[in-house]
Amino acid sequence: MEKSVSKSSVDFFEKKEAGLKSAKGDVLGSDKADAFSSAKEDISTKTKGNNIVNDESIITLAIESSCDETSCAILKNGREVLSNIISTQIDIHKKFGGVVPEVASRKHVENISIVVEDALEKAGVTMDDVDHIVVTYGPGLVGALLVGLSYAKGLSMATNKPLTGVNHIEGHICANYIQDRNLKPPFVTLVVSGGHTHIVEVLDYNKYNIIGKTKDDASGEAFDKVARAMELGYPGGPLIDKLAKEGNPHAVEFPRANMNDGYNFSFSGIKSSVLNYLNSEKMKGNEINKADVAASFQEAVTDVLCEKTIKAAMELGYDKIALAGGVACNSQLREKMKKMADENNLGLIYPSPILCTDNAAMIGTAGYYRFINKRIDGMELNAVPNLKIGD
C-alpha cells in the first residue's frame, strides 16, 4: 500500500527535526531526508532507558476497536502509559456464546467518543498536547475496525495531527515493550490468541518474520470451542484455565500434533479428540469429570506451544522469548514456559493480563515505533480484516 505524507505530518517532522538540529548545530543546512535520518539517530543515541532526553516528549493517542473492546490510550515516548481506557463488551456477547460482529460495531459507535475523552482526561492532556494519532486497521472484524479507523481519521483531519495505522498482532507483540522497558529486539515471540497462533522472530521494532503458525484452528479458538462443548460459557479460555486447576492433567491423554514442517502447529485434531471423547462418554452414560477434561486438554495444548517455541529459540540462537495475545494470560502456559525457559537459560517476558487482552496501549507502542521511522498514512487508509504481520 502506497503511503502519502500530509502537510501536517511534514510540519510535525520539521518541528521535531528543528529541535534536534539546534542541538546538533551541524545539520542546519543539510538535505531534508538526511536531516531526518540524523534526527532519528540522534533520538536513538539520546535515549536513557526508554525515555527520550534532550528532546521534547512525543505524546501518542492510540485507538483500538478490532473486536469487542473499545479502547483509547495516551502514551509518552512509546513506553510510558499515561492512560489506557478499555470498554469491554464481554457481558453483552456472553448470551450469544461469542462475538456478534454487528452488535460489536454498534457498541463501538456508542462508546468511542466517551473512551477517547476519558483517556485524555485521565492522562491529564488535551489534543493540543498530542503529537500523533495511531489506530488499528487490521486484522479484525471489518465493521469494528472501521469505527475506530473512521474516528481516528476524523480526529486527525480536525486537529491536523499525523495518522499512523497499526497491525493489531504487532501491537500484541509490542505490549512486551511496556511490560519490560529494557526489552529490545531481537527475540522470539509466541503470539497466541483467538484468531492467531504464530511464532515470530522480532528482528527490529518494525521488522518481523513468521517462522511458525497454525495450519488450522488457532489455540484460542480451540479453547473457546472446547469450552462451548463442555457448556462452560464464554469466553472459553479463562474458564478452562480456572476449571483446569481442579482437575488431573493426565486423566485423559489427548493427542499432541507434532508437525514435521518446522515450527508449525495444528489444533483441529486435539479439538476433535476432545469433542469425540465427550460424545463417547455421553453415549456410554458415563459421568464426565469436566475439570479433568479441561486440565488434560490444556496440558496437551500448552505442551505443544512451549516445546515448539523453546525449540525455535534454541535452534535460531535467541536468548529470550516473549509471549503475546489473549492466551498469553493462561496460567499454565506462563508457568510451563517459565520452567522450560529456565532449564534452557532463556529469558522470558510476558505482559500483565490487562496488556494481553485487546487494548490501545499496545497499539500506541507499535504506532510510536512506526511513527519515528516516518510511517505516516493518509486519509485513504482502510480497514484490512485479514492483515498479515509485517504488511
Number of domains in the chain: 2
319 assigned to some structural domain:
yes
Question: Which of these three, 336, 351, 366, is where a domain ends?
Answer: 351
CA distances from 261 to 197, 257, 281, 296 (A): 15, 12, 34, 25
Of the two residues 49 and 174, the one the predictor is more confident about is 174
Euclidean distance between CA atoms 133 and 155, whole angstroms: 8
The identity of residue 333, as a single letter, is: L
346 assigned to some structural domain:
yes
Question: 1 pLDDT exceeds 90?
Answer: no
Mean local confidence (pLDDT), 237-265: 90
Question: 9 pLDDT exceeds 60?
Answer: no
Band the pLDDT of 75: cuts 50, 70, 90. very high
CATH number of the domain encompassing residue 263: 3.30.420.40
Mean local confidence (pLDDT), 243-260: 89
- Looking at the structure, tell me whether residues 200 and 346 fall in a common domain: yes
- pLDDT of the residue at 259: 63
- pLDDT of the residue at 56: 67
Mean local confidence (pLDDT), 245-264: 88
Band the pLDDT of 101: cuts 50, 70, 90. confident
- Looking at the structure, tell me whether residues 205 and 347 fall in a common domain: yes
- Looking at the structure, tell me whether residues 190 and 47 fall in a common domain: no
75 assigned to some structural domain:
no
Band the pLDDT of 110: cuts 50, 70, 90. very high
Question: Which of these three, 318, 335, 351, is where a domain ends?
Answer: 351
Mean local confidence (pLDDT), 222-245: 93
Q: Which three cell numbers stand for residue 17?
A: 527535526
Neighbours of 103 (CB within 10 A): 15
DSSP 8-state code for residue 96: T
Band the pLDDT of 54: cuts 50, 70, 90. very low
Write down the pTM of the prediction.
Answer: 0.84
Question: 151 pLDDT exceeds 70?
Answer: yes
Strand order in the sheet with 197-204: 207-213, 197-204, 187-192, 320-324, 347-349
Neighbours of 120 (CB within 10 A): 20
377 assigned to some structural domain:
no
Say whether the peptide bond before residue 249 is cis (omega within 30 degrees of 0). Answer: no
- pLDDT of the residue at 354: 94
Give the whole-number percent of the chain exceeding pLDDT 70.
Answer: 85
The DSSP string of 19-43 is: HHHHHH-TTTTS-HHHHHHHHHHHH
- The 10s digit of each residue's pLDDT in 264-315 is 999 999 999 999 999 999 999 999 999 999 999 999 999 999 999 999 999 9
- Mean pLDDT rounded to a whole number for the chain: 86
- pLDDT of the residue at 52: 41
Residue among 13, 127, 115, 7 nearest 59 (CA)? 127
Question: 16 pLDDT exceeds 80?
Answer: no
359 assigned to some structural domain:
no
147 assigned to some structural domain:
no
The contacts of residue 103 (CB under 8 Å, 6+ apart) are 89, 92, 93, 96
Domain containing 330 equals 186-351
- The 10s digit of each residue's pLDDT in 365-390 is 999 999 999 999 999 999 999 999 97
60 assigned to some structural domain:
no
- pLDDT of the residue at 22: 34
Question: 260 pLDDT exceeds 90?
Answer: no
117 assigned to some structural domain:
no
